[in-house]
Amino acid sequence: MTINKVVDYAKKQIKVDKAEKSGKIGVMGFLTICPAMPGSPGSAGRQEQGRNRNDFRFKEEDMKKHLLSAKGRRYLLGVLCAAFALGLFASAAEAAQIKIIIMQDKPGEAKKYRPLLPYFKSKGIDISFVGAQSYEAAAKMFTKRKADAMFSGSGVAGSMMIKGVAYPVARPLGKDGTSTYWAVILAPQGSATYTGSTSYFRGKTVIFCSLASSGEFYFRSIGGHNTAKKMLKAGSHGSAIDALSKGLADVAIVKNRVWENMKHKYPHLQIVGVDTGENPNGTLIMSKRANRKVAKEFTDALLKVMTDPSAEARAIRKKMKILGYIKTSQQNFGHTLSLLKRAGVSRRFSFVY
């Protein structure tokens, strides 16, 4: 029996109880006010009565067996109250959960977010992570409502804003005081410097990370795709650098932070060009369909990581090598959004060129 049927039955039983006490109804009068509980002998009798009213007769003593006593009705109402209470507790438990997509574009990317788990658990919020192997996979998962939030690169984050499905809430502040990044153009040592003209890429094979503001989006925003001989898509910025070093491409466009961490391995490569604008790094974006109350609780807790003295918060700052998280809004994405629009991103963008 569904809960709605039980509730409906209980309401009718209360009416009957009041009528019996006032003397306005006898046992037989119950038939016209409250049908028998579904599945009970009375229910079958009512069905038979509908088929042949002249052949059906209720005996008062039989009906008494099927009527709930006052004690029984009180018990039923108690069960209903318990059911409602459990339902409310279940709803509260569900409301305190946040599912987050993590773009695993390089080994260990998901692991670095693990310190967040015990911290949010101590705040009464259960978070879980969903891994995506590429920017494209992460973007499609998010638009299909597979999660409530996502730690995202600025290209995908900005695209979600343009599409109207998400808004930014926070980004990490590094121990060096930085929270942004930009694209750099790499080429073998001795290569000509990027002139700012699309003719620079004429006849060249260019490799970049797909759907990255410091990769494909930047390259398309400057019109390079119109003149390049060939375009190759790498699974990560690191992979793009490695491919360039092996001679698989003439030019690579990557994230400056990744290049700074890897350049000691590639002394034969150099920067020949730089994006003049900056993009928010590792921003957490929230789905507009996420529970607003829980989203706010989550965001408030994330922003307090910087000043929270608890052991869980200290672990985040130490293991993730950050000072904490800072508030981030769409205004911080000014350069990124402009870049994306020049790259052809619109509300109808399907994350594939």
Pairwise CA distance, residues 263 & 252, whole Å? 13
Pairwise CA distance, residues 8 & 3, whole Å? 9
Continuous segment of H or E residues that includes residue 352? none
Structure tokens, 315: 């672990």
Q: Taking a C-beta distance cutoff of 8 angstroms, is the pair 147, 153 a contact? A: no
Task: Place domain 96-179+280-342 in its CATH homologous superfamily.
Answer: Periplasmic binding protein-like II (3.40.190.10)
Q: Taking a C-beta distance cutoff of 8 angstroms, is the pair 162, 346 a contact? A: yes
What pLDDT score does 74 carry? 58
According to DSSP, the β-strands at 230-234 and 166-174 are unpaired
pLDDT digits (tens, 9 = 90+) for 70-110: 554 555 455 445 544 444 444 444 547 999 999 875 666 77
At 268 the three-state DSSP class reads: coil
User: Where do the CATH 3.40.190.10 domains begin and end in the chain?
Assistant: 96-179+280-342, 183-276
What pLDDT score does 91 carry? 44
Q: Taking a C-beta distance cutoff of 8 angstroms, is the pair 212, 153 a contact? A: yes
Render 135-177 in DSSP notation, one character per residue.
Answer: HHHHHHHHHTT--SEEEE-HHHHHHHHHTTSEEEEEEEEETTS
* Predicted TM-score (pTM) above 0.85: no
Render 233-255 in DSSP notation, one character per residue.
Answer: EESSHHHHHHHHHTTS-SEEEEE
pLDDT digits (tens, 9 = 90+) for 32-51: 333 444 444 444 444 444 44
What pLDDT score does 259 carry? 98
What pLDDT score does 79 carry? 47
What pLDDT score does 73 carry? 55
**Per-residue confidence in pLDDT tens, the chain, 353 aa:** 444 554 454 455 545 445 444 544 443 343 333 344 444 444 444 444 444 444 434 444 444 444 445 554 555 455 445 544 444 444 444 547 999 999 875 666 778 999 999 999 999 999 999 999 888 899 999 999 999 999 999 999 999 999 999 999 999 999 999 999 999 999 999 999 999 999 999 999 999 999 999 999 999 999 999 999 999 999 899 999 999 999 999 999 999 999 999 999 999 999 999 999 999 999 999 999 999 999 999 999 999 999 999 999 999 999 999 999 999 999 999 999 999 999 999 999 999 99
Pairwise CA distance, residues 308 & 302, whole Å? 10
Burial 273-301 (b: 16+ CB within 10 A, else e): bebebbbbbbbbbbbeebbeebbebbbeb
CATH architecture of 183-276: 3-Layer(aba) Sandwich (3.40)
Pairwise CA distance, residues 117 & 312, whole Å? 9
Cα-flanking dihedrals φ and ψ of residue 335, to 5°?
-65, -45
What pLDDT score does 109 carry? 74
At 90 the three-state DSSP class reads: helix
